[in-house]
Structure 1
């Protein structure tokens, strides 16, 4: 018998990230990932990228931040894309669908903005549910398991190939 996650609370709202959310977001990221988050290859990508606040979202429940997803403008070779991450959800809300709602909202916003694709580093079984597949020809600025480099392409976007770099 499999256990189905509880649906997100009706009190849950998803809003665009705002500058005043920064302290709450940093605290959530610290709780979710710890100080080791700054050593990951995804952080190297964010260091060279332009933040896209209009494609980044916060999940709020009863006035408390319970999740966040951020996106960044980069290019893979000559193809402009957005890089998704970090995605973080409070421990008590994990397995409850909040992360999935954030990923879907971020991808919908990227597609609506005319972006070619969303690139990320993550677990294929989790992100595959949202249309992500291998992007092994995308070269990130540091060591990474190529099986964890995933992309969701929009429209007629082809294979992403080349180094991840600033736009």
Structure 2
């Protein structure tokens, strides 16, 4: 059996429909009610930090990163990170995470936030945000509200609401 190589590249407009189908399979219709989705709604992801994974011509994973405000300062909201269930456990999610984090560093960003599984994301340097320090616009398990400092000490300087950046803002 031949093994097709994994290709990571910036997400292209042509990927949008396949990514939406992937999100639908992975998260179902309930994804629209999630707090993290509310922050991303109507705000395009940052194309410099958003990647698609392909095996041959088949889209097998995606990572999106959206600019937000955190305590009055710019930050990034990572997610969703999605891998096709048939390709889970092959390092695709980790490859997408590493590529996106490195791109955020290169672009000069200082803080990445996400709502997700702390044990999974800890290997990339994410840690739980102290309860009440940053406040999401809806319910989220505080043990799943995580941050990665790209500049040491920046999280301690951020306090207050995490809000979407609306178009034209």
1:158 corresponds to which residue?
A: 155
- 1:152: Cα distance to partner? 0.4
Tell me how far apart the structure 1 counterparts of residues 74 and 44 of structure 2 sit (CA, whole Å). Answer: 12
Equivalenced residue count is 159
TM-score, normalised via structure 2 length: 0.89
1:65 corresponds to which residue?
A: 59
Which of 5, 14, 19 is matched with 1:11 structurally? Answer: 5
TM-score, normalised via structure 1 length: 0.90
Which of 5, 21, 33 is matched with 2:15 structurally? Answer: 21
Whether 1:54 and 2:48 are equivalent positions in the alignment is yes
Closer, same or farther: CA 106–135 of 1 in aligned 2, 3 Å: same
> Could you give the per-residue CA deviations for residues 64-105 of structure 1, whole angstroms, max 9, x where no partner exists?
000000000011112211100011001111111100111111
> Could you give the per-residue CA deviations for residues 21-78 of structure 1, whole angstroms, max 9, x where no partner exists?
1011101111111111111111111126452111100000011000000000011112
1:87 corresponds to which residue?
A: 81
Structure 1 residue runs without a partner (length 5+): 1-8
Which of 75, 92, 98 is matched with 1:98 structurally? Answer: 92
Kept in 2, the 8 Å contact 1:49–1:165? The answer is: no
Whether 1:37 and 2:1 are equivalent positions in the alignment is no
Structure 2 residue runs without a partner (length 5+): none
Tell me how far apart the structure 1 counterparts of residues 54 and 69 of structure 2 sit (CA, whole Å). Answer: 31
- 1:132: Cα distance to partner? 0.2
SS of residue paired to 1:69: strand
Which of 98, 101, 106 is matched with 1:107 structurally? Answer: 101
Q: CA RMSD in A?
A: 1.4
Runs of 4+ in 1 over 3 A off after TM superposition: none
- 1:10: Cα distance to partner? 5.7
Tell me how far apart the structure 1 counterparts of residues 66 and 58 of structure 2 sit (CA, whole Å). Answer: 24
SS of residue paired to 1:130: coil
